[in-house]
Structure 1
Amino acid sequence: MKTEELTLTRKERERQHKRQDIVEAARHVFAMRGFATATLDEIAERAEFGKATLYNYFQSKEELFELVIADAVDEFMEIATETCLDESLSLHESYTRFTRQLLGHLMANWSIYGLVMRELHKMETNPHIATLMPEFVIILAGPLERAIEKGEVHPLPAPHVAMMFMTMVLSLFKSTLHIQHPELLTSADKLATLDSEVIEAAIEQGLCILERTFFQGIYSGEPTEEKHWCLAK
């Protein structure tokens, strides 16, 4: 019995590894080819499995793509959890950390997230995403609600403002690609990377834009050095 259990455990572990290999291959192929032109044959080849093996885990390209999108939303949730649940941090500190981490993550993986940004709205009925998004909004709105309770910011509807903030951060990511580095979108190497200096410069510029637009708009009272560190630049 113990031998059978050990064998079963090993098989399950191998199955999980194969499944993850297929998902990683799908991320690569979707990023390189786009959803419409990517094929299961290409994904199977990238994963170094036969197509029949792929069908043992996933029934369609759509199922795989939904999983890739759901994984991206999970990563957004992880970043929000790490930066927005610490009640010892101010709103400014929480949202600055969130912006730094999210922009850095998006830009370091720009090829797949550029695709995710274009396709996410089509997946809003996906059960996993439909469940996760309200939780994400609650977490992201937390620092705002605490700041409102302290009288630090105007009494605005926190969930709406939090989603507006998220939209602004994602727009900063998209503008980096489409305005500052359009060559990446037409490069023969669709997985060309942004170097660390370019990423850091884009993050700093994004934070400055948020400082002058978002934070100046919601804070009550006079500006402080913490709230408006970029104004002197």
Structure 2
Amino acid sequence: MTGLRAAAVLCLALLALPAAAQQYPALHSVTGVAADDVLNIRSAPSASAAIIGTLAPDQTGVEVILADGSGKWGLINSSEQSGWAALRYLDRVSTSNWHEQPDQALECFGTEPFWSLSLDEASYLRTQDEPAIPFVLMARQPAAGHRGKSGFHAVSRIDSALSIPDIRSLSGTLTGQLCTDGMSDRAYGISIDLLQFRKAGQLDVLTGCCSLAP
């Protein structure tokens, strides 16, 4: 996808986001597609747009980031770019919104420096030039009075067999809004602001994007 086309896709996404903020992102499964067929992913929300990828007829764990203005097309990622698939062939897995599900696993990441966070029952933070640090998720809940937003707190899990750096705890906020990684044409529906508290009193502030994990 060219830079111009990617920009156009993101502009469409921004226009659609306010109407879809209460519903997306959400995990879906492909439905209604013949066993010998595929669901096309297109460069724009139109049946005449170029095909940039496909989904298998039994594919699950498809993250729909948002819907277009018509509500007929959903933005999803395919390889290193994002594209559009017909929502009539995608069945939403959960009736709850992501921020209302404390057990919804997330894969978060950012750049400068490079870091990643697996946010689930077995949480791990990986940062550039440091070993993976295991954490215990202590609390996670929706923000009061703010749809599409939640917060969490985690503490490092002590393990004498591991070389644990001096990071003591993590706190962060998750916001339902369009997010890009700055390195590809992929798009995400959740942004994260992450605070790293170190034993020496140092505070690291990290920002990035999150994807729903199947």
TM-score normalized by the length of structure 2: 0.27
TM-score normalized by the length of structure 1: 0.25
Larger radius of gyration: 1
